[in-house]
Structure 1
């Protein structure tokens, strides 16, 4: 049963190869005549042979071993996507152009920052110009959102009872019972070095000097390249394009949207340091700007003082003068964790448990040898937007790798059982919709071993 469950899960639409894999789609509402390159028609959508070629190129460029991926697998996945999107339209599921455009702008901004410029993005995706790329990306995002909403509609009402969970677990063959990896809870106390007011004023004064130079005719672009400490934009002259939904910190957006074209802000502070912004263009709800970021530097004495402070905290915990949780609440400089005893949330699950094999390698190296309740020696760490700081770490509620036990691992088993029931519901829905939807498969792909009955045999 577990093997069949894995097979069914394989093609559930979760962008299973890449977090951002683009697939072209074309509307086919007017006619169903033979078009060169069309290898399938699903309702009002078509699949092109070149779509699969392009996916393979994308996968190879991202370092995926395409030897293990067949054209039939990619073809089957696209057929599913088109069926979901087609049925979403039939069920009056609406994805507005504004929603697509907003999300598209965020994606493009992220790609530009990651790859290093729009010209490089266009080259990577083999597009002639930004307009061509946006049109291409718009179609993909809209279909993907339709697909996602259709899937959610199918599974939203699926629930599972404790008895169903028990029956699911009992039905798993003994040699296929899942093994859950070692897990633990992690808590930390952070002490940040104190930055002097003199150092803050030094940075503000330097930014004011740069601002005045620009007002006197100097190039903001050149100043950003020379002085900005933002690795995501300094090489590009500090350039960003953003709207109200772009994921920048609130203080940055508030200043950016308060400026007129050509205006330069006064220095202002965020968690990342101090900034100045030059607004170049305002296009409707979008702002094109350049900025310079400079962070105050921590003195060697401040780092030494932070280490001494955290050593005192550690000694008090070890001597049982205060618990780790109480020390975190009273002394930690990490506001996100101090009120819950310093406990970290797993970014994958947003729960306070970490599976060792899936843990960030740096954190794993810091906690893997700790026993339950043991407190690490002070660790000097550094994060962008935070700078250097000292921390101490403890672990609790460690569970070793083990074969699933019903009472001990009920919540995890419940998740597996619910997912299995959702997959069966999707499979049932897919079978029904294939029967009532116009589907045409090219002769070149009729020999594929499809999971679903696309050929309606």
Structure 2
């Protein structure tokens, strides 16, 4: 299953830990350099920001401590206001996320003792307490930022005015783009194999009802790699980017209820709902995908070769063939045309295209059809596809009619930034803020010194 994730200090530090582990940082006195509401900022928090940036491969030579301190002040303001607004991040949510990150860190450097030594903590409890606060504050910050801009919308008139106000010499240039279409043929999984999976999930469901741990069953049997480590756990709402069938079942269950096996494009699932909190559901699930045979894969290749042959012989158009024969539900009714997941429009900017897809279309001429391509996706398995490029658009300056969706995205982002700026200005004025003498010479973007 595909999910959107947010980088965290723990995840970002994995690379840094590997490269600098043996070089213990010099000891220095750590002190409070700032206070925002109930939150304090330590000098070591700024050191941690530097390590995070280096872990991402960012050149930090041009980044000042004042800039990083300003970012810390912003983060603490968000977290402080999140608490004032009764935004809740549960200890269970933080601990679950922390366990995943610690496991990844241990796998990277070899042992938990090395991780603890790297952070110069006394023991496991000291280490977990330290990162518990970091993770919780990050999640509060994230949710507060989301709350600020969630209600921000933009009208067509605002988009038009935004574009008109861009000076001629600053109008953005959009890179070369292509429209791509594909036909997918998946190997047929026998009904017998599907029934085996359904029977297995029913057996697991009954064992959980009889007292077994759903967490343990998910670790042992689930094929959803993203959630195995935390026992199949997810927290979702109606807007979470899960497939419709999954959400329909999740929101139909009561607390403690376990679903019967049901099918999505990824395979068969069972869901157990743990908690319902307003519009959010905390659940665990187990995914098992039925397996296909080598013979079925061979038959899929033969089928797509036949489809390609008919298109090449002008017996049927690519679009018609997609509608009639493609196994990809998301694209078949649109003639096989792919939607860019970032913009939700049928155009891909070459410089921002997925490298695998770019490699598959880079040598194709307009309306040329690729040879059958064997592909594989997690949760779906192997399948064959053919690809064509419907049309290309060369690099060009933004045009309001032609590039409306991109311009709308820029205009919305601009409005969101202004909304956050106004919110920040208001909250700084009404929040207790103290800056240490060492940082009062900084030139901040926001009025942290309340001059």
| C-alpha distance in structure 1 between counterparts of 2:218 and 2:423, whole Å | 55
Q: Displacement, 1:363?
A: 0.8
Q: Displacement, 1:362?
A: 0.8
Instruction: Give CA deviations for 1:261-282 in whole Å, capped at 9, x if unaligned.
Output: xx9x9876554345689x8x96
| C-alpha distance in structure 2 between counterparts of 1:156 and 1:222, whole Å | 44
| C-alpha distance in structure 1 between counterparts of 2:289 and 2:154, whole Å | 50
Q: Displacement, 1:144?
A: 3.5
Q: Within 5 Å, which residues of 2 pair with 1:230-269?
A: 230-232=224-226, 239-242=231-234, 249-250=246-247
- The answer as to whether partners of 1:112 and 1:118 remain within 8 angstroms in 2 is no
- The answer as to whether partners of 2:224 and 2:379 remain within 8 angstroms in 1 is no
Q: Displacement, 1:392?
A: 1.2
**2:180 aligned with 1:189:** no
Residue in 2 that maps onto 1:376: 370
Q: Provide closer, same or farther for how the CA distance between residues 110 and 434 of structure 1 changes in structure 2, counting only shifts above 3 A.
A: closer
Q: Displacement, 1:391?
A: 1.0
**2:377 aligned with 1:388:** no
Q: Displacement, 1:284?
A: 8.9
Q: Within 5 Å, which residues of 2 pair with 1:327-338?
A: 327-338=321-332
Q: Provide closer, same or farther for how the CA distance between residues 186 and 435 of structure 1 changes in structure 2, counting only shifts above 3 A.
A: same
**2:126 aligned with 1:138:** no
Residue in 2 that maps onto 1:150: 148
**2:445 aligned with 1:451:** yes
Of structures 1 and 2, the larger Rg is shown by: 1
- The answer as to whether partners of 2:223 and 2:379 remain within 8 angstroms in 1 is no
- The answer as to whether partners of 1:42 and 1:440 remain within 8 angstroms in 2 is yes
Q: Within 5 Å, which residues of 2 pair with 1:212-361?
A: 229-232=223-226, 239-242=231-234, 249-250=246-247, 270-274=264-268, 294-361=288-355
Tell me whether 307-316 or 115-124 shows the greater mean CA deviation: 115-124
TM-score by length of 1: 0.68
Q: Within 5 Å, which residues of 2 pair with 1:74-93?
A: 74-83=68-77
Q: Which of 425, 435, 449 matches 1:441?
A: 435
Q: Displacement, 1:70?
A: 2.7
**2:7 aligned with 1:19:** yes
Q: Provide closer, same or farther for how the CA distance between residues 343 and 303 of structure 1 changes in structure 2, counting only shifts above 3 A.
A: same
Q: Provide closer, same or farther for how the CA distance between residues 220 and 95 of structure 1 changes in structure 2, counting only shifts above 3 A.
A: closer
Q: Provide closer, same or farther for how the CA distance between residues 113 and 316 of structure 1 changes in structure 2, counting only shifts above 3 A.
A: farther
Tell me whether 409-418 or 211-220 shows the greater mean CA deviation: 211-220
Residue in 1 that maps onto 2:85: 94
Q: Provide closer, same or farther for how the CA distance between residues 79 and 318 of structure 1 changes in structure 2, counting only shifts above 3 A.
A: same
- The answer as to whether partners of 1:243 and 1:287 remain within 8 angstroms in 2 is yes
| C-alpha distance in structure 2 between counterparts of 1:408 and 1:436, whole Å | 45
Residue in 2 that maps onto 1:12: none
Secondary structure of the corresponding residue to residue 190 of structure 1: strand
Q: Provide closer, same or farther for how the CA distance between residues 52 and 134 of structure 1 changes in structure 2, counting only shifts above 3 A.
A: same
- The answer as to whether partners of 2:159 and 2:411 remain within 8 angstroms in 1 is no
| C-alpha distance in structure 2 between counterparts of 1:46 and 1:321, whole Å | 71
- The answer as to whether partners of 1:182 and 1:400 remain within 8 angstroms in 2 is yes
Q: Which of 166, 178, 185 matches 2:164?
A: 166
- The answer as to whether partners of 1:47 and 1:78 remain within 8 angstroms in 2 is yes
- The answer as to whether partners of 2:221 and 2:288 remain within 8 angstroms in 1 is yes
Secondary structure of the corresponding residue to residue 336 of structure 1: helix
- The answer as to whether partners of 2:235 and 2:283 remain within 8 angstroms in 1 is no
> Gaps spanning 5+ residues in structure 1: where?
1-17, 23-35
Secondary structure of the corresponding residue to residue 352 of structure 1: coil
- The answer as to whether partners of 1:84 and 1:151 remain within 8 angstroms in 2 is no
Secondary structure of the corresponding residue to residue 184 of structure 1: strand
Instruction: Give CA deviations for 1:40-64 in whole Å, capped at 9, x if unaligned.
Output: 3445654333332333344445555
> Gaps spanning 5+ residues in structure 2: where?
1-5, 11-29
- The answer as to whether partners of 1:169 and 1:406 remain within 8 angstroms in 2 is no
Q: Displacement, 1:137?
A: 3.4
| C-alpha distance in structure 2 between counterparts of 1:37 and 1:196, whole Å | 65
- The answer as to whether partners of 2:255 and 2:275 remain within 8 angstroms in 1 is no
| C-alpha distance in structure 2 between counterparts of 1:266 and 1:150, whole Å | 39
| C-alpha distance in structure 1 between counterparts of 2:372 and 2:235, whole Å | 41
Q: Provide closer, same or farther for how the CA distance between residues 61 and 344 of structure 1 changes in structure 2, counting only shifts above 3 A.
A: same
Two-structure CA RMSD over aligned residues (Å) = 5.0
| C-alpha distance in structure 1 between counterparts of 2:328 and 2:443, whole Å | 54
Q: Provide closer, same or farther for how the CA distance between residues 131 and 355 of structure 1 changes in structure 2, counting only shifts above 3 A.
A: same
